[in-house]
C-alpha cells in the first residue's frame, strides 16, 4: 500500500494510535487529527516510544468532532479514512447529549468531508456496544445482524452513542454517500499494549488488579480483543474485496471471567502480580451494594452473563486471525509494568 494516503481521526487515542503504527509499518502515508496543533509533539513522542517506523510519513491536521473547521483540509488528498475518534464514557452519564452528539454529528462531519474529497472508503470504528445491549438474556450468539436496543435493559449512554452514530453513518452512506464506500469495525473489550501513559478502557481492569485495588472478583465476563488486532481489522477492511457495506465484529474468542484474568496475571507474572486478588465477591453482596450506590448498578445488571460473539465474518472476509485473549491481557500488563503505571 505504498504511497496510499490515509487519514486516521483522533491520533492521540488508543485504537487510533495503533492504527497509525500499523499503516506506517505497511508503507502508507498517514495523516492524523488532533484537536490542537500543539498536540503533535506529544503524539509523535508516544508513537515513537511504541516503535513507530517512518515517522517522516506521518503528518497532522487540527480538527475537532464538535466543529466543522479543519475537516476539509484533513481529508484532502486522502484515498481512505479510518474514523476512529469518538467519546468513550461507559456507565452513567448525567447529560447523554454530551456523548451522543459528538459521536453522531462528528461521524457525519467526517463522512461529508470524505465524500466531498473523493475518498474511496471510510472505515468507522463502532463497538460491540452497538450490537449486544438491551436484549433479553439468552444463549444467543451475537453477529453483525444484531443491533443494540436503545431503550432496552442495560443500555447506557455509551451504547446509545455508538448505536446512533453507526446507524447515522449507514443512513448517510446509503442516501448521500455517492460512490464512497463504508465499512464498520465493532470491537469487544479492547486490551493490549498501552500507548504513552494514558490507560484506556478495559486496560484499567488489568491496572487495578495489578495494583491491588480490586478486593475480589464479581461474577463478570468480558469478551476481549487485542488492540493490535483491532488495528489490523481496520486496515484490512480499508481495502479488502467484499468489505464495503459490511459490519465486522472482532473478538479474540469466548468471554472470560474477571477471575480468569486474575489467574492469568498470577500464573504468568509471578511477583509482579503479588497484589492480584484471589477471592470472589458473592453476587448477593454486589446486588445489595447496588441498592444503595448507583456505581454498582451497572455491575449488578451484568452478573453471570457471558455474551457470545461471532467474528466469523472478519475471519472470512478480512482474513483476520486474532491473538488470544490471554495474549491481550499479558500485553496490557507487561506494558503497564514497563511504564511504571501500576500503583497501589
DSSP 221-275: EE-EEEHHHHHHHHHHHHH-TT-TT-EEEE-SSS-EEHHHHHHHHHHHHGGGGTT
C-alpha to C-alpha distance for 150 and 244, rounded to whole angstroms: 26
Dihedral sign of CA atoms 198, 203, 206, 212 in order: positive
Are the C-beta atoms of 160 and 127 separated by less than 8 Å? no
What is the reported pLDDT for 89?
55
Residue 163 in this model has a pLDDT that exceeds 70 = yes
Of 122, 116, 89, the closest CA to residue 103 belongs to 89
Quote the pTM value: 0.95
Q: Is pLDDT above 90 for 179?
A: yes
Burial 141-163 (b: 16+ CB within 10 A, else e): ebebebbbbeeeebbbbbbbbbb
Q: What percent of the chain has pLDDT over 90?
A: 86
Extents of the domains making up the chain: 5-191+224-251+308-322
Three-state secondary structure call for residue 155? coil
Encode pLDDT of 277-336 as tens digits. Answer: 999 999 999 999 989 988 788 889 899 999 999 999 999 999 999 999 999 999 999 999
Which of 49-58, 94-103, 256-265 has the weakest average pLDDT? 94-103
C-alpha cell at 120: 474511496
Find out whether 209 and 254 touch, Cβ atoms under 8 Å.
no
Q: What is the pLDDT of residue 293?
A: 87
- Could you say which of 162, 274, 308, 339 is catalytic? 162
> Mean pLDDT, the chain, as a whole number?
94
Residue 164 confidence (pLDDT) above 90: yes
> Rounded to whole angstroms, how far apart are CA atoms 133 and 65?
25
Task: With beta carbons less than 8 A apart as the criterion, state whether 74 and 1 touch.
Answer: no
231-264 pLDDT tens trace? 999 999 999 999 999 999 999 999 999 999 999 9
Query: Which pLDDT belongs to residue 297?
Result: 85
Please confirm, yes or no, whether 162 is among the known catalytic residues.
Answer: yes
Q: What is the pLDDT of residues 74-98, one digit of tens each?
A: 999 999 999 998 866 555 556 677 7
For residues 99 and 129, the answer to whether their CB atoms sit within 8 Å is no
Q: Does domain 5-191+224-251+308-322 have CATH number 3.40.50.300?
A: no
Confidence at residue 294, expressed as pLDDT on a 0 to 100 scale: 82
For residue 228, give the nearest of 14, 1, 11 by alpha carbon: 14
Residue 173 region by backbone torsions, left for phi larger than 0, else alpha for psi between -120 and 50, else beta? alpha
Name the one residue in this structure whose C-alpha cell is 503528518: 59
Confidence of residue 2 (pLDDT cuts 50, 70, 90): low
Amino acid at each position: 500500500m505504498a504511497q496510499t494516503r490515509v487519514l486516521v481521526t483522533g491520533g492521540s487515542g488508543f485504537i487510533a494510535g495503533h492504527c497509525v503504527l500499523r499503516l506506517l509499518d505497511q508503507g502508507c502515508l498517514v495523516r492524523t487529527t488532533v484537536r490542537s496543533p500543539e498536540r503533535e509533539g506529544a503524539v509523535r513522542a508516544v508513537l515513537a516510544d511504541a516503535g513507530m517506523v517512518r515517522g517522516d510519513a506521518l503528518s497532522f491536521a487540527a480538527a475537532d468532532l464538535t466543529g466543522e473547521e479543519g475537516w476539509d483540509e484533513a481529508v484532502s488528498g486522502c484515498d481512505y479514512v479510518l474514523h476512529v475518534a469518538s467519546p468513550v464514557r461507559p456507565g452513567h452519564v448525567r447529560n447523554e447529549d454530551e456523548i451522543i452528539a459528538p459521536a453522531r454529528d462528528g461521524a457525519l462531519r467526517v463522512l461529508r468531508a470524505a465524500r466531498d474529497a473523493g475518498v474511496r472508503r471510510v472505515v468507522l470504528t463502532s463497538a460491540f456496544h452497538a450490537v449486544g445491549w438491551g436484549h433479553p438474556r439468552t444463549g444467543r450468539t451475537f453477529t453483525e445482524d444484531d443491533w443494540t436496543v436503545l431503550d432496552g435493559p442495560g443500555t447506557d449512554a455509551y451504547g446509545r452513542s455508538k448505536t446512533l452514530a453507526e446507524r447515522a453513518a449507514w443512513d448517510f452512506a446509503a442516501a448521500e454517500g455517492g460512490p464512497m464506500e463504508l465499512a464498520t469495525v465493532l470491537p469487544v473489550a479492547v486490551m493490549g499494549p498501552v500507548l504513552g501513559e494514558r490507560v484506556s478502557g478495559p486496560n484499567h481492569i488489568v491496572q487495578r488488579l495489578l495494583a491491588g485495588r480490586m478486593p475480589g472478583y464479581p461474577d463478570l465476563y468480558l469478551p476481549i480483543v487485542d488492540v493490535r488486532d483491532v488495528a489490523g481489522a481496520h486496515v484490512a477492511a480499508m481495502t479488502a474485496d467484499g468489505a464495503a457495506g459490511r459490519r465486522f465484529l472482532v473478538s479474540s474468542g469466548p468471554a472470560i471471567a474477571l477471575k480468569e484474568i486474575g489467574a492469568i496475571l498470577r500464573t504468568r507474572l509471578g511477583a509482579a502480580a503479588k497484589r492480584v486478588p484471589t477471592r470472589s465477591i458473592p453476587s448477593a453482596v454486589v446486588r445489595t451494594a447496588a441498592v444503595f450506590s448507583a456505581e454498582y448498578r451497572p455491575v449488578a445488571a451484568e452478573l453471570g452473563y457471558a455474551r457470545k460473539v461471532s467474528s466469523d465474518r472478519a475471519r472470512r472476509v478480512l482474513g483476520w486471525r486474532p491473538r488470544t485473549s490471554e495474549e491481550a491481557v499479558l500485553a496490557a500488563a507487561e506494558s503497564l509494568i514497563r511504564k511504571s503505571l501500576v500503583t497501589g
